Amino acid sequence: MAAGSNQTGSADAGFRGPQVCSIVGITYRQLDYWARTGLLRPSISEAKGSGTQRRYSYRDLVELKVIKRLLDAGISLQSARRALTVLREGLGEDVATSNLVLGDGQSVLARTGEEIIDLLKGGQGVLNIVPLAGVVEELDAAIHQLAPAADAGPGAGAGDVRAGAGGG
């Protein structure tokens, strides 16, 4: 996989601040502020005084890009911080594989199991997801149960009932 091979080339030693800024599309000032305030600390190594540099992992870059996307969509930094905290800690979700729905700048929604939750409201459920995959099977089973009664008449069968319903 091309994406997988790209992430291992220089990822072993990590990415330095200027590289991260270039890749993610943020300023060094933003990166520094986010690290100092705990929004996203580098997972490989933190700066430990003069002459040392922060080293960010590929996963850190993914999370930084998500933060940037949230900001670009009009979500405030405070709200982006809250959304990521709920996603990571409250739900135990992997930011890299999550799907977020952004509304009017006031909502950041995420899918967890059979629910859509609002990350800015602390993971409060907003909508329930109703799986419809089994609808056809349930319908066929119900028609099949009626079939013996319908079979009493000539030429009536479950196949005829279903075909008639779909032909409209």
CATH number (domain holding residue 17): 1.10.1660.10
125 domain residue, yes or no = no
In the chain, the number of structural domains is 2
- Supply the Cα-derived Rg of the chain in whole angstroms: 26
Whole domain around residue 46: which residue ranges? 2-72
Bin 27: left if φ > 0, else alpha if -120 < ψ < 50, else beta.
beta
Tokens 């005084």 correspond to: 49
Domain membership flag for residue 105: no
Closest among 128, 122, 30, 114 to 83, alpha carbons compared: 122
The model scores a pTM over 0.75: no
Tens digits of pLDDT across the chain (168 residues): 444 434 444 556 889 999 999 999 999 999 999 999 988 889 887 776 666 688 999 989 988 998 998 888 888 898 888 888 887 776 666 776 677 777 666 778 777 666 777 787 766 666 666 667 778 888 888 888 887 665 665 555 545 554 555 544
